[in-house]
Structure formats: structure tokens, C-alpha cells
Structure 1
Amino acid sequence: MQTRSEIIETLTEILVNDFEIEASDISLDANLYEELELDSIDAVDLVVKLSDITGEKIDPEAFKQVRTVEDIVVELEKLAA
């Protein structure tokens, strides 16, 4: 998971398969909490899943500022860099 498109594809798969979000609802500007209806427990689960996939430890502090799908992509790009 290195390129931006690979990150977006993987993230979309996780949101669809693990959180039962409709693929059509997922866009880069979609708010995770308001539009995609994730709660704080879902957010923790998402961070754990992304850590497993990337093999990187994701700083929970960095993810406190995450609000949109784009924010997650940006944080994952930082890890890949």
C-alpha cells in the first residue's frame, strides 16, 4: 500500500467490508463521524486494522485530528514516506 490510489482502494475496502458502509457513500471529503457514522470505537478498530495492513504503528495522537477520508489518506501517506 504505497501509492495514493492503493491507499484509497484499501481504505475503501476496509470501510465497506468491516464497517458495512456503502461504497457510494465513501468520498475523500466524507466526514467519518457525521456522514459515514463511525463512532469512537469504530475509529479505534480502523486504526488497528490500518496498523495491521501497513505494518506500521499508527500514532493515536495523529488520528485524533482525522475527520475525513482524505485525512486518513494523508496520514497513511506520511507513514509510507
Structure 2
Amino acid sequence: MTKDIIEEKINYFLVDEFEVEEEEIAPEANLKETLELDSLDFVDLVVAIESNFGVKLVGEDFVNVKTLQDFYDLIESKLSQKTV
């Protein structure tokens, strides 16, 4: 799966399921502040990622995730580990 497809899918979840405005979605956007995702939203996001990408995420995965780009990179990394 390409990086562009990963980003498109994540952006779709954010707009469709979390009602994030499209203009708020940018790689440098802070997940908590700019996108206003709370802890329950993160749980829902993890479930959506697991069901759509087939990767398991745990709390420790989010330690260094501050921006949307960090999140894209996390999912890409998890997918590359899955295929190895």
C-alpha cells in the first residue's frame, strides 16, 4: 500500500467518522489540538485503523505521535512490519 493511499484512507476516516473539517487536515496538524481529537476519538480511530488496515496499535505506539504526519508514518511503519 502506498503512502498516498494510507494518507487518503486516514483523511477519509477523519472527515467521515470524526467530522474533522477537510481544511484542518494537514501533515503538520496536531492531532489533539488542531483536530480536536479526544481520548475516546483516539480509541475509535485505533479501531478504524485496525479494521481497515489490519494492524494492531497499542498505547505505546502513540508516545511520539504528535502530528498527523507522525500518525501517517506510524501506520506506514506498522504496515511494512506486517509484510516482513
TM-score (norm 1): 0.91
Unaligned runs of 5+ in 2: none
Unaligned runs of 5+ in 1: none
Does the alignment pair 1:78 with 2:66?
no
1:19 aligned counterpart, secondary structure = coil
Q: Distance in 2 between matches of 1:4 and 1:78?
A: 10
Who is 1:10 aligned against?
9
Does the alignment pair 1:27 with 2:26?
yes
Q: CA deviation at 1:66?
A: 1.5
2:17 aligned counterpart, secondary structure = helix
Runs of 4+ in 1 over 4 A off after TM superposition: none
2:42 aligned counterpart, secondary structure = helix
Who is 1:55 aligned against?
54
The sequence identity of aligned pairs, in percent, is: 40
Q: Distance in 1 between matches of 2:66 and 2:51?
A: 21
Say what the alpha-carbon RMSD is for the aligned residues: 1.0
Q: CA deviation at 1:14?
A: 0.2
Q: CA deviation at 1:53?
A: 0.6
Who is 2:64 aligned against?
65
